[in-house]
Structure formats: structure tokens, C-alpha cells
Amino acid sequence: MAVHLLARLLRPVRAGIGRTAWHHSAAAAPETITVTSSAFRDGGPIPQRHAGAGVGEDISPQIAWSGVPAAAVELVLIVEDPDVPLPRPIVHALVTGIDPAVGELGENAINRPGAELASGQIGIGSFHRRGYAGPRPIPGHGPHRYVFQIFALDAASGLDTDATLARTLTAIDGHVLARGRLTGTYRRD
């Protein structure tokens, strides 16, 4: 009951979409990449199996992309929740070094710390967590958006498994050729 009351009081408090990596000057580029998922459509609800621990199975959804420029050398995936009642969005997943030719990250590909990816490295999200952290908004806070952002780079970022959002934004600055995004929603009442 106290959690629901707190959530209602905090409902208007949101980090804001303008604070996501998408709106950072380092990520500016044409939106020519199409990002899709077999689990949900753009603007649609994310299935419970992809929700965070204690709420769902915390399994990362399949994410695919197309329209990557031929000159792209590397892709970066950043997943953020801009609706969290904090000063900045929460980073739910960060993957760098993705080969543009791969075309997708399969379901459950970025779940475990130290997971072996066919392409790329899993970086560090919010709260120093590695791997995918599924949606788990405060009950009663209303719908949260989860923005899956793909950035195509014209050079290798040089990032490894110690990559954080701040380090990633510094590394991609001036190197983003194109970008795309897919937004899913999740709410707990």
C-alpha cells in the first residue's frame, strides 16, 4: 500500500526522454536504421517474460535491425527507461562492438554477465549491472517506456566489457553514421 502511494506521488516525476542517449549530442545522426523485435511492436507492451527479476523471467527480447549504412564498422545498443523517477534514465542494457552484418541479437543473448555473444561485448548498465535488466517499474507509477537504441559507427569504438554509458557516449562522439530505435512499454499496477 505504501509503495502504491509513493508511486502515485512520484507519477509526474520522470527522468525524461530528452535525457536518453538518443538526445545526446554525441549520438546525433540520421534515423535510417529500422529496429524491430519478434516480442513486441514499436510503442507496444513488452511481454511479461521480458520483465525484470521478481516480475518476469528477465529474458532479453530478440532485437533486429536493418538499413545499416554500408560504411558502418560497429553497432552499439543502449536500452534506457526515461520514465524512472530519477534525474537520469536507467540503462537496462549496453552492448558495444556489434558487427553490423549480424542483423540481430537473439532472445536471451544479453542476459548473463560474461555471456558470450556472437558479436559484441556486454557493458555496464545502471547500478553497475552487466547484462540485460528487464522492466521493473514501481507498482502504480504508470507506464514506462523502454527505448532500444541502435547506433551505427564509422569506426571501432575501442570499448570493452567495462563500457559505461558515459564512456560509450564519449567514444561514439563524431562517429555515428545512422541510428534507429524501438520503444516498448511496461507497467505494474
pLDDT in tens, 99-158: 999 999 999 999 865 566 778 999 999 989 989 999 999 998 899 999 999 999 999 999
Whole-number pLDDT of residue 5: 60
Q: State the amino acid at position 70 in one-letter form.
A: A
CATH class for the domain made up of 2-186? alpha beta
C-alpha to C-alpha distances, 149 to 78, 86, 105, 110, nearest whole angstrom: 5, 20, 13, 15
pLDDT in tens, 1-57: 665 665 566 666 778 899 999 999 999 999 999 999 999 999 999 999 999 999 999
Could you tell me which of 127, 135, 145 has the C-alpha nearest to residue 183? 145
Segment 167-182 mean pLDDT? 98
Other Cβ atoms within 10 Å of 119 Cβ, number? 17
Give the start-to-end residue ranges of the domains of the chain: 2-186
61 pLDDT above the threshold of 90: yes
CB-CB contact of 103 with 66 (8 Å): yes
C-alpha to C-alpha distances, 128 to 49, 58, 113, nearest whole angstrom: 23, 17, 11
pLDDT in tens, 89-99: 999 999 999 99
